[in-house]
Amino acid sequence: MKMDRMGSVVLAAACIAGLAGCDRAREVSDVQLTQLLRSERASAQDPRAPLDPAAVDCLRAWSGDAELAKTLQPASSGDAAKQSCKPKIDAWIADANRNPDKFRFEDVSAPPTVRRAVDLLGEHRSVAAHLPSAADKPPAALMPPRAAPTPVPAGPVDLSAATAAVDELDGLCQKAKQAAASGTTSQPIARYASYCENRISQMRTRITMVAQHGDAKQAQVVTDNAQRVLEVGRQLAAQADAPRATPTKNQ
């Protein structure tokens, strides 16, 4: 009994010190993993959406599992590559549309979750290869008649905070692109510059749709999402502005 109590005390101390795995990773379902890691062009409502291969490789590199990382190319597994790819994953984690359940990076980079992501990457790629193309239209007799679209009641919604966040994010994006073009900034901000413009365009389109047809709840979701993405942009901009240490000459 005395030893059991002593063991409990040691375990508790290790948890406090961060030396034991007391903060366990949350389990991520296939649907949630697909929603988070789906490729940019995939539909958010598609449960079989193809996954982004680069994002899956990034999580393999961060998993800390030698088996998962052993087949990665050196350019995808080094420290520089890991730091370069992580901001994209962080931005997706901050995106309420991709990550409504608020999983952390630690959750999605846990080895069991990454193994499942690798499996889903192959499974969804195989399904996509066997789907009929747009040219494979069914006979006209089998096509259902077109129904008139049901009008969605539109009400006054406040999207001023979302618009302000996207405007600020646009400025940070331009700053990132200038820094990346100069070649004097870090790899994470250069990576961010490569996709921020497209992401901002998608957010503006979403704001316009909600303004025309949405309700107060949708407006709040859009606003929260814009502010989360803005926070990531601010952090990357702060990293780019941080002064670099000047190397000292050998005596």
Are 55 and 37 in contact by the 8 Å Cβ rule? The answer is yes
Tell me how far CA of residue 244 lies from CA of 27, 84, 185, 232, 247, in angstroms.
39, 17, 9, 21, 9
d(CA 228, CA 231): 5
SS3 218: helix
Per-residue confidence (pLDDT) for residue 37, from 0 to 100: 94
| pLDDT tens digit sequence for 155-178 | 567 888 889 988 988 888 888 778
Helix (H) / strand (E) containing 212 = helix 187-213
Tell me how far CA of residue 124 lies from CA of 57, 60, 84, 159, 205, in angstroms.
16, 18, 26, 36, 27
Q: Which amino acid is at 219?
A: A
Work out the end-to-end distance of the chain between its first and last CA atoms, rounded to an integer number of angstroms: 61
**Percent of residues, the chain, with pLDDT higher than 70:** 70
**Is the model's pLDDT at 179 over the cut of 50?**
yes
Task: Work out the average pLDDT over 231-246.
Answer: 68
| φ and ψ at residue 39, rounded to 5 degrees | -65, 160
Per-residue confidence (pLDDT) for residue 178, from 0 to 100: 80
Instruction: Give pTM, 2 decimals.
Output: 0.46
Are 95 and 225 in contact by the 8 Å Cβ rule? The answer is yes
Tell me how far CA of residue 195 lies from CA of 137, 170, 199, in angstroms.
34, 12, 6
* Closest of 131, 113, 125 to residue 36, by C-alpha: 113
102 versus 77: which is more confidently predicted? 102
Per-residue confidence (pLDDT) for residue 2, from 0 to 100: 43
Per-residue confidence (pLDDT) for residue 5, from 0 to 100: 46
Q: Could you say which DSSP state residue 242 is in?
A: S
**Is the model's pLDDT at 246 over the cut of 50?**
no
Per-residue confidence (pLDDT) for residue 241, from 0 to 100: 63
User: 18 — alpha (psi -120 to 50), left (phi > 0) or beta?
Assistant: left
75 versus 207: which is more confidently predicted? 207
**Percent of residues, the chain, with pLDDT higher than 90:** 25
Task: Work out the average pLDDT over 68-77.
Answer: 82
**Is the model's pLDDT at 104 over the cut of 70?**
yes
Q: Could you say which DSSP state residue 28 is in?
A: -
Give Cβ neighbours of residue 118 (< 8 Å, ≥ 6 apart): 56, 60, 68
d(CA 149, CA 157): 22
**Is the model's pLDDT at 194 over the cut of 80?**
no
Q: Where are the domains of the chain?
A: 25-128, 157-240
**Is the model's pLDDT at 12 over the cut of 80?**
no
| φ and ψ at residue 51, rounded to 5 degrees | -90, 155
Instruction: Sort 30 into a burial class: Cβ within 10 Å, 0-12 / 13-18 / 19+.
Output: middle
